[in-house]
């Protein structure tokens, strides 16, 4: 006969009233220690090893506004704050447009954004400080609360130039956005061959900067009267901050080498 397992032998030796306490202790030992915060929260505003190896960089560290400044300024107005790990426009009356310290030509941008009720904002690229406003030189990927914002240019569109095809289910241009107060995912690809806008994993359209089609659309828009619009192959990345509350997180960029 094999000798009895020491743990089983000790159970037989315990008084009956002590068995529940022993069981609770065993469960406590078996459970892993608590981390103090959800795993998802720990991953915010961080790069994985794979992303770092692929050339991605963080434009916002989740802790401060390092690497940003108001457009054509060296400072940042108080309407922009770091709030719960997000880059947030909390006071659009005292925020203005926020620009990166560096300038970029061809890149892939990946971020999450959350709109306030009725708010609109935008991501402007290839912006130059040669004009008074960022949108006078850089094309703008529109961000907005599609349900309650008053601007007819909708979220994900290239402002005044490109919009998605009509969704046969709704009879309106394709709309993959989530309601105000919920996080959306944005991917913007800028390359010499093509530019792509994606919202929540849904591709809206493609275009080529400087192509005949692009130039034709610019000429037919309000930007046709702006001599420096879309004339720069490199410029600041700008978040608009004067048309409502908006928050950003996980702002990542990967430069594309020619």
Which tens digits make up the pLDDT trace of 111-130? 999 999 999 999 999 999 99
Instruction: Look at residue 33 and tell me whether its pLDDT is greater than 70.
Output: no
What pLDDT score does 158 carry?
A: 98
CB 116 within 8 Å of CB 145: yes
Could you tell me the two tokens for 201? 């994993």
Distances (CA, A) of 232 to 71, 134, 203, 229, 240: 16, 12, 25, 8, 19
pLDDT of residue 257: 86
User: What pLDDT, in 10s, does the model give residues 52-64?
Assistant: 999 999 999 999 9
Over the Cα atoms of the chain, what is R_g?
A: 26
Nearest to 137 by CA among 218, 232, 240, 229: 229
Q: Does domain 45-255 have CATH number 2.60.120.560?
A: yes
Spatial neighbors of 12 by CB under 8 A, at least 6 apart, are none
- 40-44, 92-96, 150-154, 228-232: the lowest-pLDDT one: 40-44
Can you give the residue ranges of every domain in the chain?
1-31, 45-255
Report angle CA 119, 250, 123 to the nearest 5 degrees. Answer: 45
pLDDT value at position 196? 98
Q: What is the largest CA-CA distance in the chain?
A: 97
């Amino acid at each position: 006969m094999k000798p009895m397992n020491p743990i089983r032998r000790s159970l037989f030796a315990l008084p009956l009233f002590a068995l529940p306490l022993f069981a609770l202790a065993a469960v406590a030992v078996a459970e892993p220690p608590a981390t103090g915060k959800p795993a998802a929260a720990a991953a915010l505003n961080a790069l994985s090893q794979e992303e770092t190896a692929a050339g991605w960089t963080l434009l916002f560290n989740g802790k401060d506004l390092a690497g940003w400044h108001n457009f054509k300024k060296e400072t940042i107005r108080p309407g922009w704050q770091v709030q719960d790990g997000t880059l947030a426009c909390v006071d659009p009356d005292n925020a203005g447009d926020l620009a990166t310290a560096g300038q970029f030509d061809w890149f892939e941008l990946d971020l999450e954004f959350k709109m306030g009720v009725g708010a609109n904002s935008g991501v402007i690229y290839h912006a130059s400080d040669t004009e008074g406003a960022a949108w006078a030189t850089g094309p703008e990927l529109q961000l907005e609360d599609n349900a309650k914002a008053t601007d007819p240019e909708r979220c994900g569109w290239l402002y005044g130039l490109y919009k998605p095809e009509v969704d046969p289910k709704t009879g309106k241009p394709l709309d993959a956005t989530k309601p105000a107060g919920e996080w959306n995912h944005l991917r913007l690809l800028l390359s010499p061959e093509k530019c792509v806008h994606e919202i929540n994993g849904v591709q809206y359209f493609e275009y080529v900067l400087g192509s005949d089609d692009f130039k034709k659309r610019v000429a037919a828009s309000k930007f046709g009267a702006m001599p420096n619009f879309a004339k720069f192959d490199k410029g600041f990345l700008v978040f608009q901050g004067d048309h409502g509350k908006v928050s950003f997180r996980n702002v990542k960029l990967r430069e594309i080498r020619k």
